[in-house]
Chain A
Amino acid sequence: MATASATLRAAAPGRRGMRNLVLAAMFAFGAWAQASGLIGDVLYLWPDIRFLTRQHLLLVGISWGLAIAAGIPLGVLLTRPWMRKYSESVLQVVNTGQTIPTLAVLALAMSILGIGFWPSIFGLWIYSLLPIVRNTYQGILAVPGHLMEAAVGMGMTRRQILWRVELPNSLFVIFAGLRTALAINVGTAPLAFLIGGGGLGELIFTGIALDRTTMMLAGAVPTALLAVILDFLIGQLQFWLVPKGVNPLRLNR
């Protein structure tokens, strides 16, 4: 108590006014939330939010993981000399996957694979593939020629060149692709609800059907938060995992 009043006294008049304003705003928000039934609604929906957020993360995690597992090797493969003449055509095919509207991809997945979790994973996987393949491909192609020459001159094998020169030098660009894929994936996953795949889309679409704003927000806000948090996390990974010498973010430090 003594410290609290001391802090209060110590605070400049302007800051105290500011703090009172913030307190008043928080109080008003609380009162409004109570009056509009927001708190009750969120409590009612809380088990749903938790369950569906988990499901959403599973959808995103598995489809994105599979896209990495397929996309990076495919991207690397396309840069091999014997594949070069086919690589643009292969990229065009992968590209098509992303030109088709999201909902149509899911509808196609449904007509081939039925409904539920795995068809949704398939649709999201197709959607995440392109940024990963293209960035891997472009990243490796962009490795400076003199580095490659030096590596050959040192007598490195193909495999050594790939692991020690090409991949480390293109890692930053590959990560950028993973980030794009993840952002697209999190934002597209709500549509999985339409083919019975679950996820936070359930709250969004039910909210629209029943015209319940809180329910829509209970789906939309966690989706947005997930996108921001996951992007932040992968940003951190990119920062710390990409070697210092080839990381534009850390070059000047």
Chain B
Amino acid sequence: MMHYLNRLLSALAVLVLTVSTASAAITVGGKNFTEQLLMAEMTTQLLEANGFDVDKADGMGSTVLRKAQLNGQVDVYWEYTGTSLVTYNKKSSKGLSAEETVKKVRQLDKKQGLTWLECSDANNTYALAVKEGRSDTEGLETLSDLAQAYNEGRELTMAVNAEFPHREDGLIGLEKMYDFRVPRAQRAPMDSGLTYQALNEDQADIALVFATDGRIEAFDFRVLKDDKGFFPNYALCPVVRTETLEANPGLRAPLEHLASKLDDETMQRLNARVDVDKVAIRKVAEEFLKSEGLI
């Protein structure tokens, strides 16, 4: 009896060992909106084509995803420079150019064990938009105009996502710099991605949008000019845990290659394929990677 048990135990031990060495999969993370879901899917397909074992974990909020990466639960995901600088590292982005922002973030995050690879040219900054042809927001061209409208007591409903009102690089900082307040009753937070629909269907007067979203053009939105330069640069870059990168140096080349293919127009086009043309994310990702010869 003991004999069998011993054999069984050693067999189990061998099994566990092989499984644990074989399961050194790369976990690809992603946030909870179209562009991020798309990037997570592209990265998954790209790394699989390069012979990596990949687990995908997307649909998280920014802060949760960042924590997961610091904890080692996520190995790689695409982050925006401004988000890391202002939200995670609590630094001011004032007066920093795109290159300076990348440099600063790279340096700050290195100490936390994260490596920022070469960035793409896509700058997915926050923006506030109105719909063309709506009389109540007709005269608004800049964020200063918007601030003035709120200060005059005009009732404009602003559709935002869950994070924006509570982020220093979001409404908190924006209200400080432009010196206005959006009254509580006129703030309408909702799931990311719904803000476009809300503005398009006249359920809101102003909507929070991402600059690389294809729906801005498709729905005929007008982006308000950030005339005081409040919003930081949000270059889209692959960020890898340094530990993972050292164990898998082969990760760098394909990720940087993909980054080099991305800019504002490309992202807008890809996002529009998903949000406007309603093509499945998996398909959009595959088509793009194939057309660029990445897989």
Contact = CB atoms under 8 A, between A and B. Distances in A.
Given A193-B189, A196-B188, A115 B163 contact: no
Contacts of B162: 193, 202, 205-206, 209-210
B63 A114 contact: no
Contacts of B191: 193-196, 205
Nearest to B61: A209
B61 A196 contact: no
B201 A211 contact: no
Interface string B261-279: 0000000000000000000
A116 interface: yes
B166 A211 contact: no
A114 B61 contact: no
Contacts of B184: 47-48, 51
B64 A211 contact: yes
A249 B166 CA distance: 49
Contact of B197 (A51, A114, A205, A206): A114
Contacts of A48: 184
Contacts of A198: 188-189
A124 B230 CA distance: 40
Contact of B166 (A114, A195, A206): A206
A196 B190 CA distance: 5
Interface residues of B, number: 23
Contacts of A196: 159, 188, 190-191, 194, 198, 203
Contacts, number: 66
B62 interface: yes
A208 interface: yes
Contacts of B203: 114-116, 196
B63 A209 contact: yes
Nearest to A194: B191
B163 A195 contact: no
A interface SS class: helix
Interface string B188-206: 1111001001100101000
Interface in A180-200: 193-196, 198
B202 to A, nearest CB: 9
Interface size class of A (residues with CB under 8 A): 20 to 34
A47 B184 CA distance: 8
A208 to B, nearest CB: 6
Interface string B64-104: 10010000000000000000000000000000000000000
A205 B194 CA distance: 15
A150 B189 CA distance: 59
A47 B197 CA distance: 27
A211 B159 contact: no
Nearest to A116: B203
A196 B200 CA distance: 14
Nearest to A54: B185
Nearest to B167: A210
A209 B163 CA distance: 7
Given A211-B64, A211-B67, A206 B189 contact: yes
A208 B197 contact: no
Interface string B160-202: 0011011100000000000000001100111100100110010
B67 A51 contact: no
A205 B188 CA distance: 14
A79 B220 CA distance: 54
Nearest to A117: B203
Contacts of B165: 206
B201 A114 contact: yes
Nearest to A45: B166
B210 to A, nearest CB: 15
A120 to B, nearest CB: 11
A47 B61 CA distance: 24
Interface in A1-54: 47-48, 51
25 contacts: A47-B184, A51-B185, A114-B197, A114-B201, A114-B203, A115-B194, A115-B201, A193-B162, A195-B190, A195-B191, A196-B188, A196-B194, A198-B188, A202-B162, A205-B162, A206-B166, A206-B189, A209-B32, A209-B61, A210-B61, A210-B63, A210-B162, A211-B64, A211-B67, A212-B63
- Nearest 7 CB-CB pairings of A with B: A209-B61, A196-B190, A206-B162, A211-B63, A209-B162, A194-B191, A210-B63
Interface of B: 32, 61-64, 67, 159, 162-163, 165-167, 184-185, 188-191, 194, 197-198, 201, 203
Given A48-B184, A196-B159, A210-B63, 20 more contacts: A115-B194, A115-B203, A116-B198, A193-B189, A196-B188, A196-B191, A198-B189, A205-B162, A206-B165, A209-B61, A209-B62, A209-B162, A209-B163, A210-B61, A210-B62, A210-B162, A210-B167, A211-B61, A211-B64, A215-B166
Interface of A: 47-48, 51, 114-116, 193-196, 198, 202, 205-206, 208-212, 215
